[in-house]
Amino acid sequence: MAKKGDQYWNYVDSLLDDYADDSAERTHARPRRRARRIQDGVVSGGDVQMNRNTDQPEGSAYQRRYYRARPEEGQQQRPPQNRRPVPPQQRRVPPQNGRRAPQQVNRSGAPRQQRPPVQPAYRRPPQQRNGGRRPPPPPQQNRGYRAPAMAGGPPPQNGGKPKRRFRDLFPQKGDGAKESIRKIVSLLSAIVLIGCVIYFAFAGIMSYQNSHSTSKLSKLLNAESNSSWAEIRQKYPGVEFPEGMQKKFAALYAQNQDLAGWISIPGLNINYPVMQGSNDDQYLRHNFNKEYTVYGTPFLSSYNSIKTLDQNSTIYAHSMRRDDQMFTPLKAYRSVQGFKDNPLIEFDTLYKDYYFKVYAVFISNGNADGDNGYLFNYTWNKFSSDADFAEFIRQINQRKLYSTGVDISTTDKILTLSTCNYDFDDCRLVIVGRMVRPGESKHVSTRHVVKNPNPRFPQAYYDAKGLTNPYAQAKKWEPSAAH
């Protein structure tokens, strides 16, 4: 018959056995260690007997590490420290089939509430369900929201995010007012953005092509200066060169017989061929090779003569908003410093080279609507008398922004450069140069520049600035004869 102390220790060993199983299940890292029970036949005290399960002596340090030794007879039995005996009804059920069964009662002895079984995330429905048809997909959720998996539905794709389609960018039936407005604004913004990208790309390509073409033409200038006319005619058969033409224009003239000369203002990077067509619209939007371009080409008025220059010769060219090509740099002449930096203009015709000293800079209108029905004809080239030419110069003096100190007489010839400006609609910027006289130095003194305190502008200029026109009742000059 077992002693009372042995019954107690058998009970403690059973608790340690349950604790070892529970600890091994929680960690999943250590192997299971089942406690060894101390049987009644083990001799205590000084006697030593080998344990048949561990091949270690009973009461050794190896066994004392896992369970307590039984006290010797006559010693006081002490309960295990820091342990509270667990009633039998609260014991854990031993594992079944390698898996620990859930505890049936809690510490108070009441039945433990069972958890509901875990449903699989996705289960392909049998054909008998939903009439043999697959259930509809889950509704689209907001972007960034992971839609929950539906039993019987398709598995979530693209990480649960709704798949965006191209037609979703357009307003659709069922969209709210705010959503429709948002889509319309987004579409308009995208169209404007794409249009701007195309416009600037096209503008950049056109700018490069025009600059590259002008650079190639400048290399052809003076290409045949050292050749004889016999060599030039042999090199370009079929081209009839005019008598008295300068040889430096032969290579350019062979490509286009509309060539009239070359204009150059080195300080403003103006260095272009000058054409002359049958009318003043031919080279407004065409380049030297007669190809369309928004830049056009500087051209001499079709009313002027290049063999012997008229008393007033006019060259037209565009002023570009996108870059500084063509006559765009002429806007520098609106300031006195612009004149001081560039007081001389060179215009070489097919027959002779000419230099012009800047005489005046003024603003004019391109049509009669800009000045109460009056159009100052600054391009007039043939004057009936010296008095008529003198009156024309007085009209320029009223309009010029400053006096350059360059004088002019009725026997002089002038060169007029006309380009568009943007102070008002159809505005023109005009630069007038006086031809350097025979024997006169090309040097221009800039010490005598005087700013005009009250220049005359078209009515449209005063309207744009909100000013009163002091020349509203001034005399309106008209040429005395027609072209």
pLDDT per position as a tens digit, 300-339:
999 999 998 999 999 999 998 888 899 999 999 999 999 9
- Ranges of beta strands (E only) in 291-374 are 299-300, 312-316, 344-349, 353-365
Output the pLDDT for position 173. Answer: 78
pLDDT digits (tens, 9 = 90+) for 261-278: 999 998 999 999 999 999
Do you know the residue count of the chain? 483
Cα–Cα distance measured from residue 241 to residue 54, given in angstroms and rounded to the nearest whole number: 123
> Cα-Cα-Cα-Cα dihedral of 28, 30, 31, 37, to 10°?
-110
Output the pLDDT for position 44. Answer: 42
Burial 197-231 (b: 16+ CB within 10 A, else e): eeeeeeeeebbeebeebbeebeebbbebeeeeeee
Cα–Cα distance measured from residue 400 to residue 206, given in angstroms and rounded to the nearest whole number: 34
Regions in the chain scoring below 70 on pLDDT: 1-6, 17-164, 166, 481-483
Specify the amino acid at residue 151.
A
Main-chain dihedrals φ then ψ at residue 166, nearest 5 degrees? -65, -40
Are 135 and 125 in contact, with CB atoms under 8 Å apart?
yes
Cα–Cα distance measured from residue 188 to residue 134, given in angstroms and rounded to the nearest whole number: 40
Helix ranges (H only) for 236-317 are 250-255
Count other C-beta atoms under 10 Å from residue 396's C-beta. Answer: 22
Burial 303-329 (b: 16+ CB within 10 A, else e): bbebeebbbbbbbbbbbbeeeebbbbb
Residues 6+ apart with CB under 8 A from 155: 121, 122, 149
Strands 402-403 and 353-365, by their bridges, are unpaired
Cα–Cα distance measured from residue 414 to residue 397, given in angstroms and rounded to the nearest whole number: 14
Cα–Cα distance measured from residue 212 to residue 206, given in angstroms and rounded to the nearest whole number: 10
Query: Does an H or E element contain 429, and which?
Result: strand 427-435
pTM value is 0.63
Residues 6+ apart with CB under 8 A from 295: 206, 210, 287, 318, 320, 325, 326
Cα–Cα distance measured from residue 316 to residue 303, given in angstroms and rounded to the nearest whole number: 12
Residue 280, beta-bridge partner list: none
End-to-end, the C-alpha distance of the chain in Å comes to 149
Output the pLDDT for position 123. Answer: 57
Are 418 and 377 in contact, with CB atoms under 8 Å apart?
no
Are 406 and 357 in contact, with CB atoms under 8 Å apart?
yes
Longest dimension (CA), the chain: 157
Main-chain dihedrals φ then ψ at residue 348, nearest 5 degrees? -100, 120
Burial class (CB in 10 A: 0-12, 13-18, 19+), 294: middle
What 3-state DSSP class applies to 74?
Answer: coil
Q: Give 165-222 as a 3 state SS string.
A: CHHHHCCCCCCCHHHHHHHHHHHHHHHHHHHHHHHHHHHHHHHHHHHHHHHHHHHHCC
Output the pLDDT for position 464. Answer: 92
Are 347 and 415 in contact, with CB atoms under 8 Å apart?
yes
